[in-house]
Each structure stands twice: as structure tokens, then as C-alpha cells.
Amino acid sequence: MLGQIKLVLFFLFLSSIGGALWYVQHLKAENEILTLNNEKLNGAVEQQQAVIEQQLRDIETKTQLNKQLNENNAKLSADLQLANEKFNKVNASGERRDIGNLAIAKPKSIERIEGKREKQRARCFEIAQGSPLTEEELNATKKSQINAECTNIANPNYIPY
């Protein structure tokens, strides 16, 4: 009888050891899976952080571009105002200039001026779209050297007098 009890107790002991070993192995396996998952999550978080940082940089770039565009628009509006005034310019005697009459009296001269102005207007669009200024444009300080169509953006060093 005592021998049977010992045998049962021995099997119970073995079962407990076996169960404990299985449980530990199971925990180890789970731990490995959790560790792998954790690494994946950390990787995903890093990726997300990189994406967020890139988006922040993009927003900053867009804000800068928008600011630059707004500044250019303001300058172009000022130039448009000046261009409109040119057609209605009043001389020192108070006489208003009439481009139409000038074009009738001197058609070739007006056509020549308009041809030059047309080229200047095309250059204005290039500058507004980001084309860098040339040395000649940067160094223009006299009225005869400037782009009359968009002086504010084409000739930053020109001071009207």
C-alpha cells in the first residue's frame, strides 16, 4: 500500500515537473513572439515618426513657397498698377498721354516699344515662375536698364527717382 502511494506521489511529482517545464517553455515561446511583435511595433513607430517628420518638412517647404508666391503676387500687382498708369501718364504740363494717338503718329516706334515690352513681359513670367535673375537684371540701377514691365521683381536694386 505504501509502495503504491509512493508510486502515485512519484507520478504526481513527475507530472508537476513536466507541467512546470511545459509552462516555462510555453512562456518562453510567448515571450519570443511578444519580443518580435514589440520589435515590429517599434519599427512601425519609427517609420511613422519618419513619415511625420517628412510631412512637417513638406509643410514647411509649402509654407515657404506659398509665402514667396504671395510676395511675388503683391509685387506683380504693384507692377500691373504701374503698367496701367503708364498708359494714362500725365506730363509736367498736365497733358494726359494718349498711346492711341502716338501709335497713329509714330506706328513703327510704338510697335518697336511694344515688341520690347512684350519680351520684358515674357521675362516677368519666367521670373515669377522661379527663374533666377541675371547679373544684368541684378545690376540694373538706371531707368534705361530696367525691365519696365515688372521692375519690382526683375530689378531689386533699382531705386525709382
Partner 1 sequence: MRIEVLEVLENHFGKDKDITAESHLMDDLGGDEFDIVDVFVQIESKLGISIPEEETFDIMTVSALCEVVERHVGSD
Contacts with partner 1 by CB under 8 A lie at 86, 89, 91-93, 97, 99, 102, 105-110, 112-113, 116, 142-144, 148, 161
Query: Minimum CB separation from partner 1 for residue 73, in Å?
Result: 24
- Cα distances (angstroms) measured from residue 53 to each of 41, 49, 59, 60, 65: 18, 6, 10, 11, 18
Alpha-helical runs (H) found in the chain:
2-87, 99-105, 107-128, 135-139, 151-154
Q: What is the largest CA-CA distance in the chain?
A: 139
* 153 burial type by CB count under 10 A (0-12 exposed, 13-18 middle, 19+ buried): buried
Complex with partner 1: residue 129 or 161, whichever CB lies closer: 161
Query: Minimum CB separation from partner 1 for residue 155, in Å?
Result: 14
Query: Minimum CB separation from partner 1 for residue 134, in Å?
Result: 20
Other Cβ atoms less than 10 A from the Cβ of 149: the count is: 23
Query: Minimum CB separation from partner 1 for residue 121, in Å?
Result: 14
Identify which of 123, 57, 51, 114 has the alpha carbon closest to the alpha carbon of residue 86: 114
Complex with partner 1: residue 148 or 153, whichever CB lies closer: 148
Complex with partner 1: residue 75 or 151, whichever CB lies closer: 151
Complex with partner 1: residue 72 or 113, whichever CB lies closer: 113
Complex with partner 1: residue 67 or 112, whichever CB lies closer: 112
Query: Minimum CB separation from partner 1 for residue 113, in Å?
Result: 4
* 79 burial type by CB count under 10 A (0-12 exposed, 13-18 middle, 19+ buried): buried
